[in-house]
């Protein structure tokens, strides 16, 4: 029985590893800028859209899995991702990349994201939180596996060839994983009346705001990792892919780390620690951007904190609004992630194109200070269902 449980956790983690390839986008971004001769703002659009649609369809997917056939929803998600990669491989303009990579792949990831969590949550185990945490870590650790693979494919097959290979491989692997995982879905299908009562809570908007700011900072910097390494520090692209893998480890570590800090000290102190350390890391980059040691240290801080907020936000949602409507409530809260990705990628690109790369770090440090002030000066209280 235990072997079956851990087998499903391993399969769910594998699916999360595949879906987390979005965090390796900075490798694609460098190639996209060269192939399509676009600036930082334009090259950020696919990343911006993939994260926005991922957030939107994660909320939609939760409802669809409750109501319709699990396998059918999973297959749709798999087809969207596979088709998105294949269309990106034959794209002749950046607009097609924005639609294929951004809209299609993002929507597919959003639909599939809930499948491993749905299956793992049903497993009979004394520590369901641990199993869920292990599964979620797969998403954050994805660049550790895929960044070197993507870098090698880009070097040998070019941008188009890489997308086509990924489209074929993802189509096969995701279909198999969807089929096996869906077979273990024992949850009863039902139609719930949607009641977004959390929108009447002041605390919701406080958490939504700081989650948006943290995502804004984290995803903006993550999306520029390869650019900063190659253009500022002249790091070889192959070495950058290794750094992405290392940073991914800290992204994964940030989730259980801040989960523990939140359990021990509460959301307010945890959030203050996060924004304080982000300010330190971002100011280090601003003043010493050409230092390799600072680059490594600061990016570790940023990746840990970004991963941490993907633990803090759901934990706060449960603590404030309960477990009964968690999927629905966190689906609404997670829109902050998509909005932060959309605005952050757009604004950071404009800042780089019209000012300098180091200006981004200063702006992000100021935003982190705003987040710190919001948490420090506001009180958070739960809003129970009416």
pLDDT along the chain (386 residues), means of 10: 74 90 84 88 87 86 80 94 96 94 94 82 63 76 84 91 95 93 75 69 90 92 81 82 85 82 84 95 90 92 91 81 68 85 82 81 94 86 48
Do residues 369 and 276 lie in contact, with contact meaning Cβ atoms separated by under 8 Å?
A: no
Domain count, the chain: 2
Give the model confidence (pLDDT) of 283-334 as tens digits.
999 999 888 999 999 999 999 999 889 888 887 887 787 766 666 777 788 8
Q: Given this model, what pLDDT does residue 124 score?
A: 64
CATH code assigned at 121: 1.20.1250.20
Final residue of a domain: which of 192, 207, 234?
192
**Number of other residues whose CB lies within 10 A of the CB of residue 336:** 23
Pick from 116, 86, 83: nearest CA to 17: 116
Co-location of 248 and 365 in the same domain: yes
Co-location of 215 and 164 in the same domain: no
Co-location of 285 and 347 in the same domain: yes
Domain that holds residue 95: 1-192
Q: Given this model, what pLDDT does residue 386 score?
A: 42
Final residue of a domain: which of 192, 227, 247?
192
Co-location of 172 and 310 in the same domain: no
Co-location of 137 and 275 in the same domain: no
Co-location of 205 and 106 in the same domain: no
Residues 326, 313: Cα–Cα separation, whole Å: 12
Q: Given this model, what pLDDT does residue 191 score?
A: 64
Residues 377, 206: Cα–Cα separation, whole Å: 11
Q: What is the pTM of this model?
A: 0.76
Give the model confidence (pLDDT) of 254-280 as tens digits.
877 887 788 788 888 999 999 999 999
Q: Given this model, what pLDDT does residue 147 score?
A: 82
Kindly give the residue spans of alpha helices, DSSP state H, lying in the chain. Answer: 2-19, 25-35, 40-43, 45-67, 70-89, 94-97, 106-121, 128-182, 202-222, 225-227, 237-265, 267-287, 292-321, 326-333, 335-354, 357-377
Co-location of 186 and 128 in the same domain: yes
Q: Given this model, what pLDDT does residue 213 score?
A: 95
Final residue of a domain: which of 158, 173, 192?
192
Co-location of 200 and 186 in the same domain: no
Find the helix or strand (DSSP H, E) in which 379 lies.
none
């Amino acid at each position: 029985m235990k072997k079956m449980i851990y087998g499903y956790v391993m399969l769910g983690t594998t699916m999360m590893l595949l879906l987390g390839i979005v965090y390796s986008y900075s490798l694609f971004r460098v190639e996209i800028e060269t192939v399509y001769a676009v600036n930082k703002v334009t090259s950020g659009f696919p990343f911006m859209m993939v994260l926005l649609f991922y957030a939107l369809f994660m909320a939609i997917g939760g409802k669809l899995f409750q109501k319709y056939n699990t396998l059918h929803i999973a297959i749709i998600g798999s087809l969207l991702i596979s088709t998105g990669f294949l269309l990106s491989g034959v794209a002749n303009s950046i607009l097609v990349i924005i639609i294929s990579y951004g809209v299609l792949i993002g929507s597919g990831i959003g639909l599939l994201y809930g499948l491993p969590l749905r299956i793992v949550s049903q497993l009979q185990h004394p520590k369901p939180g641990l199993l869920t945490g292990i599964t979620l870590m797969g998403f954050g650790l994805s660049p550790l596996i895929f960044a070197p693979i993507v870098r090698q494919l880009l070097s040998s097959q070019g941008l188009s060839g890489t997308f086509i290979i990924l489209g074929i491989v993802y189509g096969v692997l995701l279909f198999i994983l969807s089929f096996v995982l869906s077979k273990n879905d024992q949850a009863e299908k039902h139609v719930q009346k949607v009641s977004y009562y959390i929108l009447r809570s002041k605390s919701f908007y406080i958490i939504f705001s700081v989650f948006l700011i943290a995502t804004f900072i984290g995803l903006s910097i993550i999306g520029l990792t390869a650019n900063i390494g190659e253009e500022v520090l002249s790091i070889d692209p192959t070495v950058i892919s290794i750094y992405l893998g290392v940073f991914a480890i800290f992204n994964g570590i940030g989730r259980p780390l801040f989960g523990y800090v939140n359990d021990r000290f509460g959301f307010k102190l945890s959030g203050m620690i996060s924004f304080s350390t982000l300010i330190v890391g971002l100011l280090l980059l601003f003043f010493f951007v050409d230092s390799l040691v600072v680059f490594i240290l600061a990016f570790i801080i940023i990746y840990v904190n970004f991963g941490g907020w993907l633990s803090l936000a759901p934990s706060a949602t449960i603590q404030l609004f309960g477990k009964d409507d968690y999927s629905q409530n966190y689906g609404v809260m997670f829109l902050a992630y998509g909005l932060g990705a959309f605005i952050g990628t757009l604004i950071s690109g404009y800042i780089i194109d019209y000012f300098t790369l180091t200006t981004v770090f200063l702006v992000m440090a100021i935003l982190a200070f705003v987040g710190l002030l919001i948490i420090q000066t506001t009180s958070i209280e739960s809003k129970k269902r009416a």
